């Protein structure tokens, strides 16, 4: 397999650095509501405080890796309505898809 040229690698790097990745973020109230309605509540930390500390570390790690990551605040009503509309469970995959779709629509 042919190795990408320097120009191709630089273009890919530039595109990656200009892309924005949304990181799911919650207020304490929305976190509690989404967790209580989730089909995978075990994926959440035990408390909002624990979740907030973990999420802050993950966001920092993603940014250190050179990814343009932004907090994307979830409104629980919007997420749960979106899940019903698209016939999807409130799980990690759907929450990620929701954030990606909403972030894309803001461009």
Report the alpha-carbon distance of residue 38 to residue 10 in Å, rounded: 41
User: Dihedrals φ, ψ of 50, to 5°?
Assistant: -65, -45
**Chain segment 45-89, per-residue pLDDT in tens:** 999 999 999 999 999 999 999 899 999 999 999 999 999 999 999
Mind giving me the DSSP string for 32-50? HHHHHH-S-GGGS-SSHHH
**Mean pLDDT for the chain?**
89
> Distance (Å, rounded) from C-alpha 62 to C-alpha 69?
7
- Sequence ranges of the domains in the chain: 20-105
- Alpha-carbon distances, residue 105 vs 4, 16, 59, 88, 99 (angstroms): 32, 19, 22, 19, 10
Strands of the chain, DSSP E? 20-25, 68-73
| pLDDT value of position 4 | 76
pLDDT reported for residue 3: 75
Spatial separation of the C-alpha atoms in residues 76 and 96, rounded to whole Å: 13
């Amino acid at each position: 397999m042919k190795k990408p040229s320097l120009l191709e690698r630089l273009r890919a790097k530039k595109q990656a650095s200009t892309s924005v990745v949304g990181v799911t973020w919650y207020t304490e109230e929305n976190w509690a509501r989404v967790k209580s309605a989730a089909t995978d509540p075990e994926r959440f930390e035990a408390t909002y405080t624990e979740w907030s500390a973990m999420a802050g570390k993950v966001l920092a790690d993603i940014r250190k890796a050179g990814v343009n990551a932004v907090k994307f605040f979830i409104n629980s009503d919007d997420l749960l309505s979106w899940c019903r509309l698209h016939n999807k469970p409130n799980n990690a995959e759907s929450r990620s898809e929701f954030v990606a779709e909403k972030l894309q629509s803001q461009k």
